[in-house]
Structure 1
């Protein structure tokens, strides 16, 4: 059976990381490994990972999200690779249904779930109620809920190793974060891969953590800078694909 490497970047996020990992352990039946890439945390995250015997890359300083993803991707041994935000909670059938979508066609390269908190077409329209209710509503296997998109949000980003072999790693010019997922999606599409939303896989995303840590002004400035870098690289604005 295929192995999925679940890569979770983390920076002082123990209050999110612990329930995220616990939800993976409870709700994941497909073979997987968890790799936590820690960006210099001092909040007990490293000790937690060691206690749980998770694969751990402990970086001395905060290298940013794209670099953390790349460290994890280099360590990963899975046939499929999944970048996961630490402020997510997984639900029953989540990975099984996403993998079914990913491997349903040779030209599908990246798959994302639906969620309560995201920009673009992955955000559900109805209000979030509870994990159990949302899973009951969404997570029964149903290929009719899959649809092609131009962009997958990086909060839960599942792709084939074949894609990484052709496209490469995350572009670290977008560090400390934002727009690196748009860039990766664009590169995948240029290589002929399709991107799909698995509408039969709901995961919970708390979201907003960056705004709280950095402040809205700082985040807006970072977005503006990285939008400009994307435009300089590709000649198109990333919001074109939302």
Structure 2
């Protein structure tokens, strides 16, 4: 893979300015390959727009909260990268994160989607990490993130918290399904569709990132978190006739 390839990093956000600032700072600090950042704001009222303008970020301002899948689609529509990456605003990336994942993505023609391991995720991407401070977590990640294809693991699903895929996959599979708004299971749905088109999915076990853990969703849906998850799980079952939990 040529290192001149550009990665478009799309970050949906909703009233999560402190998280977004930390996420952006981590990208700028730890990304050594070409990238662009596109922030898609779901109707925030916390100064997100002013911050993005001040920082010179590519910015899409939606008037209301249209949900995570819709925000992803808006960002992807203007992305110019050879590869595309959806990133939750509550993720802090780490040294070598993107270069390691790109090696996995371009390791074979039929690899379509790659994701890292992390301290907080559903399924096989969660790993045990013991730390007390963010600085300590970063030190652990720095030691962990040594490129090692032996740690790559083929998977049935990649969690959308850090979701890297080839542009050709986007052109074939199409947009994220907005019936899953405000969010949950749109990533399972996309992975299922990608696999139907013959793409393989890889967990980049040599890439550890920090995930605060669905912080924006939890704040936006304090009373109906479990109901939302179960409702969207049922939408997946109704669409495909299978339970996405079989992939966990």
Q: Same fold (TM over 0.5)?
A: yes
Of 103, 110, 118 in structure 2, the residue corresponding to residue 100 of structure 1 is: 103
Instruction: Output aligned runs, 1:202-221, within 5 Å.
Output: 202-209=208-215, 210-215=217-222, 217-221=223-227
Instruction: Output aligned runs, 1:42-121, within 5 Å.
Output: 42-121=45-124
In structure 2, the residue matched to 1:175 is 181
Pairwise CA distance, 1:17: 0.2
Pairwise CA distance, 1:134: 2.0
Q: Is the 8 A contact 1:91 1:131 kept in 2?
A: no
- Residue 188, structure 1, aligned to residue 194, structure 2: yes
Which string of whole-angstrom CA distances, capped at 9 and with x for unpartnered residues, describes residues 42-73 of structure 1?
A: 10111110011000001111000000000000
Q: Secondary structure at the match of 2:224?
A: helix
In structure 1, the residue matched to 2:41 is 38
Unaligned runs of 5+ in 1: none
In structure 1, the residue matched to 2:205 is 199
Q: Is the 8 A contact 1:148 1:196 kept in 2?
A: yes
Q: Secondary structure at the match of 1:121?
A: helix
Q: Is the 8 A contact 1:10 1:36 kept in 2?
A: yes
In structure 1, the residue matched to 2:171 is 165
Q: Is the 8 A contact 2:90 2:214 kept in 1?
A: no
Q: Distance in 1 between matches of 2:140 and 2:198?
A: 33
Of 123, 128, 134 in structure 1, the residue corresponding to residue 126 of structure 2 is: 123
Q: 1:208 to 1:57 in 2, by over 3 A?
A: closer
Pairwise CA distance, 1:213: 3.6
Q: Is the 8 A contact 1:116 1:128 kept in 2?
A: no
Q: Is the 8 A contact 1:110 1:196 kept in 2?
A: yes
Pairwise CA distance, 1:223: 1.3
Pairwise CA distance, 1:214: 1.5
Q: Structure 2 length as normaliser, TM-score?
A: 0.95
Pairwise CA distance, 1:127: 2.5
- Residue 136, structure 1, aligned to residue 139, structure 2: no
In structure 2, the residue matched to 1:239 is 245
Structure 1 runs of 4+ aligned residues shifted over 6 Å read: none
Pairwise CA distance, 1:212: 4.0
Q: Structure 1 length as normaliser, TM-score?
A: 0.97
Pairwise CA distance, 1:10: 0.6
Of 162, 179, 192 in structure 2, the residue corresponding to residue 156 of structure 1 is: 162
Stretch moving more, 202-211 or 49-58: 202-211
Of 24, 27, 31 in structure 2, the residue corresponding to residue 24 of structure 1 is: 27
Q: Distance in 1 between matches of 2:239 and 2:71?
A: 22
Q: Is the 8 A contact 2:94 2:142 kept in 1?
A: no
Pairwise CA distance, 1:222: 1.1
